Structure 1
Amino acid sequence: MARPYEPGPSTSLSTNTLSQTPSSPVPEEDDDSGAASPELPLTMSASVMLADLPRDATAALASVGGFPQEKVVVKFKPVGAAPSLAQELCKISATRKFEEVVRYLRRKLRCKDTDSVFLYVNSAFAPSLDEVVGNLHQCFKNGQDQLIVAYSMTPAFG
């Protein structure tokens, strides 16, 4: 919570307020500290509004949403009585959602609409269906730059 404004040594108040106005309560930078004291208040007129972002900030923000790889390698591992896949590796676009991985696996396993399939990343957690595959890959890839997805026909891993 901000403190109420109290005149200090940097401000001067006169008994005759009509002839003199108090100096601005905007903190001045000292050569010693390099930053203004957080206890001094800022007036609304002292705030700065940016009309646009600096060029380096714009470039940084533009690169944040991108993924270093266009496609991600996903390795499927069966758990329990789940059938094995003929091809355990597949590539999927980094911008796709995890539901695409589930749909792909269901198609490869030839699951019926009533069959359940449970998928886990690194045999640890079941990601949300709307999670982006590229984000999962960046956070949980293995040493071979693969996203490991374990699958089971019954719930596994608690």
Structure 2
Amino acid sequence: ARPLGRQRADTEARQVQEISGRDKFLRVIEFLRRQLHQDTLFVYVNSSFSPSPDELIIDLYNNFAIDGKLVVNYALSAAWG
């Protein structure tokens, strides 16, 4: 599993994708599938659960954000339940 955006050396900026809180989690899934050229992708929040594609980003953020960021992880095979 990897964070959304590329991790770089501490001295370099980190690339982050921002989307509207009114969007559904499906938008995150579709973005990652396009970027990774993968049809099958397992997407998680905080390395612990996979939200429904219909969940609103703002609801996930309000309930699960850490230090003002919603951490989204992905894997090519099931990694967390």
Structure with the larger RCO, 1 or 2 (CA within 8 Å, 6+ apart): 2
* Aligned partner letter, 1:136: L
**Taking structure 2 as the reference length, what is the TM-score of the superposition?**
0.80
CA distance in 2, matches of 1:122, 1:102: 15
Cα distance in 1 for partners of 2:46, 2:25 equals 14
Q: Is the 8 A contact 2:5 2:17 kept in 1?
A: no
Identity of aligned residues (%): 36
Name the aligned partner's letter for residue 18 of structure 2: K
Match of 1:94 among 21, 25, 35: 21
1:90 counterpart SS class: coil
Deviations 1:43-92 (A, max 9, x none): xxxxxxxxxxxxxxxxxxxxxxxxxxxxxxxxxx618xxxx854652100
Matched with 2:57 is 133
Task: Quote the RMSD (CA, aligned, Å).
Answer: 2.0
Aligned AA for 1:141?
A
Q: Give yes or no for the alignment of 1:150 onto 2:70.
A: no
- Provide runs of 4+ in structure 1 moved above 6 Å: none
- The residue number in structure 2 matching 1:121 is 45
How many residues align structurally?
Answer: 74
Cα-to-partner distance string for 1:18-60 (whole Å, 9 max, x where unaligned): xxxxxxxxxxxxxxxxxxxxxxxxxxxxxxxxxxxxxxxxxxx
Cα shift at 1:132? 0.2
The answer to whether the 8 Å contact 2:5/2:16 transfers is no
